[in-house]
A and B are shown apart, each in its own frame.
Chain A
Amino acid sequence: MEKGATIKHDIKKASKTGTWRNVRPEIEVSGCIGCATCVKYCPDACISLRKRKKDEFIEGGKATENVAEIGYEFCKGCGVCAEVCPVKTISMKKE
């Protein structure tokens, strides 16, 4: 036990919950509208918004400024993001 029984947050000690995953969410970036619905519901806060790259524009698609990006370190593969996505551009793939 550490002195004073206080424990400081240290992300290096965190268990990598990404190892729980048996399906992984993948974003089809050209279809993403950057609405951030998946961001707020993700139980592990794995998803953030980033600027869309130039080669990710598609003709006829909605070229929003931001797109969602998933970090897989802590993603447990629950599939909530794929379920809530209003344009169904996230799909769950077998690991």
Chain B
Amino acid sequence: MNKQLTKNFAPGHGTCSGCGIPAIVRNILDVSEDPVVVVNATGCLEVTSTLYPYTAWKVPYIHNAFENAGATVSGIEAAYKVLEKKGKVKGKINFVVFGGDGSTYDIGLQALSGALERGHRFLYVAYDNQGYMNTGGQRSGATPYGANMTTTPAAKGDIGNELDRKDIMEIVAAHGVKYLAQANVFNIEDMRAKAKKAFETDGPSFLLVLQPCTNSWKFPVSDYVKVAKLAHDTNYWTLYEIENGQYKINQYISNPKPIEEFLKTQKRFKHLLLPENKKALEKIQRDVDFRLEKLKKKTGE
């Protein structure tokens, strides 16, 4: 057991073999120099880390329902402010929310929006595995076009999920948040640097981390880093940050690979590689290029 990395989050949790979520949690908590309080919305991380009577968390931790992680962290932060004023708590405490894409894009969006609007000081980390994975792989607002999920099966000529992934970064940015960033689990150094900046922000901050799901994206358990890297190399998941309204792309890809390279590693996209679905494949490539161009314009470069 690695002592430094298990300082805040211990093993003995039941995440699937080859899941990247624990690496995200450990590295983000490891960055914080001050004590942390963790709020966790329902999701893979919650159900696997808190199997009664065991808890993998060594830091103060509160679990709440899918929809109110934002509201819970607001209350905790407000209570901290009052206690600090009365002199009952000393020193800075960081507040971190971990939520999946289900609790960020869909169910918890309203509470998150409220918390961002009120300007509480907390970091919201969304690990994005593009669906409701702990309940069997239903489609969420983060599921990309063409994915074969249990609620959007690709059969009898259907393409799978017919809707596009929603741009949560833009939704959060519209609240005037001072720091938000898109990170990827394969680039842990970049993720740690972003978490550090987020902890230093006075006010809400947001971190969206891509987390390939071995179970529902359907790839071998040893490959989460490889798949995440391909998402980066094909420009499917660009690493960028928005600091005080300024967009910045952290890493440019000079020779991006075609999107097929990323899609063919996962069985959820298997049907897209059939000759009759060529148009869908072209659409996905077009969308990737379009999103990157849009982002480049915003950086002003």
A and B are partners in one complex rather than unrelated chains: yes
CB of A67 within 8 Å of the partner chain: no
Check A14 against B222 for contact (C-beta < 8 Å).
Answer: no
- Which of chain A's residues have a CB closer than 8 A to the CB of B17? 20, 43, 76-78
The 7 A-B pairs of least Cβ separation, nearest first, read: A14-B12, A79-B222, A78-B18, A74-B11, A76-B17, A78-B17, A45-B5
CB of B280 within 8 Å of the partner chain: no
A residues neighboring B (CB under 8 Å)? 7-11, 13-17, 20, 39-48, 71, 73-74, 76-80, 82-84
> Whole-angstrom distance from the CB of A91 to the nearest CB of chain B?
12
User: Which of A16, A17, A82 touches B222 (beta carbons < 8 Å)?
Assistant: A82
CB of B23 within 8 Å of the partner chain: yes
Check B22 against A45 for contact (C-beta < 8 Å).
Answer: yes
Interface secondary structure of B, over-half rule: loop
Number of B residues with CB within 8 Å of any CB on chain A: 37
- Which of chain A's residues have a CB closer than 8 A to the CB of B22? 43-45
- Which of chain B's residues have a CB closer than 8 A to the CB of A41? 20, 23, 188, 225
For chain B, residues 35 to 62, give those with C-beta under 8 angstroms from any C-beta of chain A: 50-58
Check A48 against B1 for contact (C-beta < 8 Å).
Answer: yes
A33 to B39 Cα, complex, angstroms = 38
Instruction: Given the known inter-chain contacts A48-B3, A79-B221, A82-B222, please indicate yes or no for A43 contacting B15, CB distance below 8 A.
Output: yes
> Whole-angstrom distance from the CB of B194 to the nearest CB of chain A?
15
CB of B240 within 8 Å of the partner chain: no
Instruction: Given the known inter-chain contacts A14-B54, A20-B17, A73-B1, please indicate yes or no for A80 contacting B225, CB distance below 8 A.
Output: yes
> Whole-angstrom distance from the CB of B222 to the nearest CB of chain A?
3
A39 to B26 Cα, complex, angstroms = 12
A77 to B226 Cα, complex, angstroms = 17
Instruction: Given the known inter-chain contacts A74-B12, A84-B225, please indicate yes or no for A79 contacting B18, CB distance below 8 A.
Output: yes
- Which of chain B's residues have a CB closer than 8 A to the CB of A82? 222
Check A17 against B18 for contact (C-beta < 8 Å).
Answer: no
- Which of chain A's residues have a CB closer than 8 A to the CB of B220? 79
Check A71 against B1 for contact (C-beta < 8 Å).
Answer: yes
Check A13 against B56 for contact (C-beta < 8 Å).
Answer: no
CB of B224 within 8 Å of the partner chain: yes
- Which of chain B's residues have a CB closer than 8 A to the CB of A40? 5, 23, 27, 188
